[in-house]
Amino acid sequence: KCGAVIIIDEAECAVGKRGKTLQDDDQQQQQQDFSRDCLNVLLSLTGTMGNIMLILTTTNPGELDEAVLDRMDEIIHLPSLSSTERTCLLQNHFSRLFELAPEQPSSSIDRMLRAFRRSTNKACYDNMFDVTRSISSLSNTADLDTFSGRELEKLLQGVAYKTYASDTGVLSQSLWDVETRKLMTSFAAKQKGRSIEANGSLRRTVKHEIGTVKAQKRNKIKYKP
């Protein structure tokens, strides 16, 4: 009666293209069946959902079924983050995950009091660590051009975990440089793996279609009267 807004994140998983290559794995086959059922329900309800707004989000719009794209009133493209936007996000995430390490207590009583007073779970960085320069340098790195906001957050979370696991438990400039480089390499390998997997799916689709055509030709020749 009052209306609603329905948001489907990663919509290609639920309303992807029909006619994809059949997989031998039972779980993948079940996922394809589920996706086909979701697509059929969505298409059958289009135009009869009343006062409801449907929002689909995806990083692979080419994987959505053409019928779904045809029924969308508006298609909004969100470009990759700019260097300024990355800097803002990294600063926000850094302030949420890190804090300046307190000065070393001079006595055992001060150390005990500091342990009781500290209620935060943030990782610490030393007073020689230049936060502004480090984040600005990182955000201007070309390797981050394709990073999403979620990946930027995971990048700093990874640095925080490595800080906790370090010998000193405090983030230094050298630790920042090493760990950010490692994490960016790891993310790049992950993105490359997704690209290879997508190309492999395309090759499997073409191979399947060629095999189907050849089988049809053989059947025609075999059963030709």
What pLDDT shows up at residue 20? 58
Cα(59)–Cα(222) distance, integer angstroms: 46
Distances from the Cα of 51 to the Cαs of 47, 64, 89, 115, in angstroms?
Answer: 10, 24, 35, 55
Cα(167)–Cα(147) distance, integer angstroms: 30
- Contact status, residue 160 vs residue 166, Cβ threshold 8 Å: no
Sign of the torsion formed by the C-alpha atoms of 27, 30, 36 and 40: negative
Cα(151)–Cα(90) distance, integer angstroms: 11
Closest CA to 32 of 42, 41, 23: 23
User: And the tokens for 110?
Assistant: 């001060």
What pLDDT shows up at residue 221? 42
User: And the tokens for 222?
Assistant: 């075999």
Cα(111)–Cα(138) distance, integer angstroms: 35
Query: What is the amino acid identity at position 115?
Result: A
Three-class secondary structure assignment of 155-186? HHHHHHHHHHHCCCCEECHHHHHHHHHHHHHH
What pLDDT shows up at residue 183? 92
Question: Which residues lie closer than 8 Å to 70 by C-beta, 6 or more apart?
Answer: none
Per-residue pLDDT 10s for the chain (225 aa) are 677 888 888 888 778 777 655 555 666 666 667 677 777 777 777 666 667 788 888 888 888 888 888 888 888 888 888 999 999 999 999 999 999 887 765 556 555 555 555 556 889 999 999 999 999 999 998 888 888 888 999 999 999 999 999 988 899 999 999 999 999 998 888 777 665 555 555 454 445 444 444 444 444 444 344
- Contact status, residue 159 vs residue 183, Cβ threshold 8 Å: yes
Query: What is the amino acid identity at position 190?
Result: K
DSSP 64: B
User: And the tokens for 35?
Assistant: 């996706």
What pLDDT shows up at residue 161? 94
Q: What is the CA radius of gyration of the chain?
A: 26
Cα(176)–Cα(162) distance, integer angstroms: 9
What pLDDT shows up at residue 26? 65
Cα(71)–Cα(53) distance, integer angstroms: 12
